[in-house]
Structure 1
Amino acid sequence: MIFHFGGTTTELALTDRFDAQRGFGFVYPEPPSFALRVPEGNYDIALTLTGPGEVTVKAEMRRLLLEPTRLRAGETKRLAWTVNVRRPQLPSGASVRLKKDEQGHLDWDELLSLEFHCPMSCLTELRVTPNTSAPTLYIAGDSTVTDQPGAPFAAWGQLLPRFFGPGLAVANHAESGESLKSFVGERRLAKIESTIRKGDYLFIQFTHNDQKPGANFVEPFTTYQDELRRFIAVAKKAGATPVLVTSMYRRRFDGQGKLTDTLGDYPEAMRQLAKAESLTLIDLHAQSKLVFEALGPEPSKRAFVHTETIKDDTHFSSYGAYLLARCVVAGLQKSDLPLKRFLAAGLSSFDPTKPPAPESWRLPEAH
């Protein structure tokens, strides 16, 4: 479908609210998001913008597509991405067992949602086209990876789409509180299995909840590896490529300004499994250590969720999520995966020992 904004020959005025009967329109409050009812699948998004103004674009549950970008007066920019839309229903008639706070999330509804942070006069044209051939990068993981529903929280899987051009969709199935076992029990892996196909990718990152005592606990070199093999098998059966991602450090500094590792043997167990199975490994555990130690004890608080009321040394701000996404992309760039060809053009190099300062990062959020 093609939508024109503004002018005298428009299909849709900027003040037109979402209408359930016609299935599209703007959703408020500020910032407005455009919603279009579509079937489950991947969609090519082509957006034409006209300056002046600064523009940031997100999709679905705050998935970053475009960092803040300044347009000069009269400047026109045409941008494109591929976005994944999913439903909780499975072919069997069962559904993913969504948590109570997931009910109504944009990641699971029947709409393709695009969130615009810009003067609405910048929006010129939007084209939405189904793409049934685009490969999909699936992500399975926990709260450090998921599409976090609101600021000040964010996670690396949420910012990863910003680093890809059109032709590949990121389907982030990670969810807060998940372990390898609970991800299976809640039919989240079954949901991935129902749609993953040849040419797709499955990135797998679990540890933070798997190491906790209780029913979901797994031992690093035995049951942890066994459960990971279950995920690997799902990808391979479909002809997709599994990729293992070690979990990042928590923010625990010793007196010498060095991080204390709270993840035990789990990262090493994943490294050994990747080697034994001849799989690509992205060692986010090692890279995050370099990043957080380079920032130091106090500046690193800006990468985590530290506010007047919250002191969280496990979960990330958008700045921290951005740094971790850069680490994942850097690992991908060093790999032999064909997935690399979908990376956005013009990506700058990233040195984890010299991360950009917190002051250099800014991401508009809904109020």
Structure 2
Amino acid sequence: MSIQQFLKSFVVLGLLTNLSQAQQKTNYKFDFGPGKVAQGYTQVLPTDTYSKEKGWGFDFDSKVNAEDNGGKNYLTSDLVKSDKPFYFSVSLPEGNYKVTVTLGDPKNAALTTVKAESRRLMLENIKTTAGQSLSKTFVVNIKDKNIIGGQVVGLKPRELTKLDWDDKLTLEFDQQTALQAIEITKAEDQVTVFLAGNSTVVNQDDEPWASWGQMIPRFFKPGVAIANHAESGLTLGSFAGSKRLTKILSIMKPGDYLFVEFGHNDQKEKGPDDGAYKSYTERLKNFIRETRKKGGIPVVVTSTSRRSFGPDGKIVNSLGDFPEAARKVAAEEKVALIDLNAMTTTLFNALGEEPSKKAFVHYPANSYPGQDKALADNTHFNPYGAYEIAQCIILGIKEQKLSIAKYLVNDLPKFDPAKPDDVNNWHWPESPKSSVVKPDGN
């Protein structure tokens, strides 16, 4: 085969792939339970397990029970529930999707938390009384590694098994959920907020690890989609080098946002041209420049503080000049700055040296399966810590008067980093999967 023939076949293959994606179904309406099926909906029974051929179903060995309580409303008179968290997946191409879940039990009160993909928090503690049905809508971004023109994102081995990078939308429901219906609709009109960052931003798959990027969807109504492209261990340079910035720019629309938080791993680069005011500054300016070329809105986010307390019992800066360099770039380039480094310093000081461990991955041995040694990590957050830091980001969005602030949820919690939420009053239904492996980065 000649080079010309090879290139022609490559282009044709790409066109066929794009055509296949374009033809793939993107709208679904599911009615859960054994009762009569609501018009226009597809019935889902406990035996409907996910397969690629069918394209939808209960996933990851989920076991649910179904109930039919009778009644004239076919959509809400039957349901499924479980005594364990359960998963439901639907095969979908890349894009933003509005997901409406109908929750409720004719006989019992329920409290529901919904996560999507790699433990992204979508709905938190949704209460329904006995006999009440409630519909809630949120937006989930689905991404893949393909880039227009035949390039692909250079994924790490651990990412190959992440729910964030597979070919389906996966919803996780906690064990208190009474699920009556799901409706999924492709949503082309959302403002997409892309996240570029490291392990403090990425969607962590496994308990007890978590980052602010997977908590922030909970705080937005439809109108905004969070597309988290962060990955553990990355710097500005390796993020761009693995074509993650190229991927974002290839699908960015005018008016979309790019939040950029790096510094923890950039700090470890020791080449002659590395440093806060050299390669870090130059690369950060390039992210801003390239985003603006696409009509996007860049936002600089300073690095989260580490849990690094000094002799006086107060946080000391362990990130060198990197937070200040980010502030300087934001000022010079006239872009919005969310000073997460300052806010997390305030947050950890407010918690105190010993209590702040409750925001990080500090757990005694045998807290999780296979964990024969204590976990003591002063960089990476647990779900409570990630939730508090996501609220810092939300506070920054409001303070910077970003246009996406109008899409914040109506029940937005009041938050002050100097007065953090009481961890004892915070509820997080743990996901089934856990890991003792520390994420890349420090």
Give the deviation of 1:68 after TM superposition. Answer: 2.3
Identity of aligned residues (%): 43
Out of 355, 376, 389, the residue aligned to residue 324 of structure 1 is 389
Q: Conserved in 2, the CA contact under 8 Å of 1:211 and 1:217?
A: no
> Which residue identity lines up with residue 79 of structure 1 in the other structure?
K
> Which residue identity lines up with residue 100 of structure 2 in the other structure?
A
- The 3 A distance-change label for structure 1 pair 16 and 216 is farther
Distance 2:143 2:111 in 1: 30
- The 3 A distance-change label for structure 1 pair 217 and 2 is farther
Distance 1:330 1:216 in 2: 37
Give the deviation of 1:303 after TM superposition. Answer: 0.3
- Alignment root-mean-square deviation, CA: 1.4
Give the deviation of 1:222 after TM superposition. Answer: 2.5
Distance 1:50 1:357 in 2: 29
Out of 79, 85, 95, the residue aligned to residue 152 of structure 2 is 95
Distance 1:255 1:14 in 2: 57
Written as runs of structure 1 = structure 2, the 5 A alignment for 1:81-160 is 81-119=138-176, 122-160=178-216
Distance 1:324 1:217 in 2: 32
Give the paired residue count: 366
Alignment partner, residue 126 of structure 2? 69
| SS of equivalent to 2:427 | coil
Q: Which deviates further from its counterpart, 297-306 or 334-343?
A: 334-343
Q: Which structure 1 segments of 5+ residues have no match?
A: none
Distance 2:58 2:36 in 1: 18
Alignment partner, residue 46 of structure 1? 100
Distance 2:124 2:176 in 1: 15
Give the deviation of 1:232 after TM superposition. Answer: 0.9
Distance 2:118 2:272 in 1: 27
Whether 1:276 and 2:303 are equivalent positions in the alignment is no
Distance 2:94 2:272 in 1: 31
Structure 2 length-normalised TM: 0.81
Alignment partner, residue 45 of structure 2? 13
Give the deviation of 1:74 after TM superposition. Answer: 1.1
Distance 1:217 1:333 in 2: 36
Alignment partner, residue 2 of structure 1? 29
Q: Conserved in 1, the CA contact under 8 Å of 2:86 and 2:175?
A: no
Distance 1:26 1:214 in 2: 48
Distance 1:253 1:22 in 2: 54
Out of 406, 411, 414, the residue aligned to residue 346 of structure 1 is 411
Alignment partner, residue 230 of structure 2? 174
Q: Could you report, residue by residue, the CA deviation over 1:24-82 in whole angstroms, capped at 9, with x for unpaired residues? A: 00113452211111111000111111142221100111000111233211122111111
Alignment partner, residue 314 of structure 2? 258
| SS of equivalent to 2:151 | coil
Written as runs of structure 1 = structure 2, the 5 A alignment for 1:157-236 is 157-214=213-270, 218-236=274-292
Q: Which deviates further from its counterpart, 199-208 or 26-35?
A: 26-35
Alignment partner, residue 55 of structure 2? 23
> Which residue identity lines up with residue 148 of structure 1 in the other structure?
Q
Distance 1:248 1:119 in 2: 33
Give the deviation of 1:214 after TM superposition. Answer: 4.3
Asked which structure has the greater CA Rg, the reply is 2
Distance 2:387 2:129 in 1: 26
Structure 1 length-normalised TM: 0.97
Out of 16, 19, 35, the residue aligned to residue 89 of structure 2 is 35
Distance 1:149 1:192 in 2: 21
Q: Conserved in 2, the CA contact under 8 Å of 1:198 and 1:240?
A: yes
Q: Conserved in 2, the CA contact under 8 Å of 1:37 and 1:111?
A: yes
Q: Which deviates further from its counterpart, 1-10 or 161-170?
A: 1-10
| SS of equivalent to 2:146 | coil
Instruction: Name which structure has the greater RCO, CA cutoff 8 Å, separation 6+.
Output: 1
| SS of equivalent to 1:319 | helix
Distance 2:392 2:176 in 1: 32
Distance 1:216 1:117 in 2: 50
> Which residue identity lines up with residue 362 of structure 2 in the other structure?
H
Give the deviation of 1:221 after TM superposition. Answer: 1.8
Q: Which structure 2 segments of 5+ residues have no match?
A: 1-27, 38-42, 62-83, 365-373, 433-442
Whether 1:336 and 2:368 are equivalent positions in the alignment is no
Give the deviation of 1:149 after TM superposition. Answer: 1.3
Distance 2:415 2:399 in 1: 12
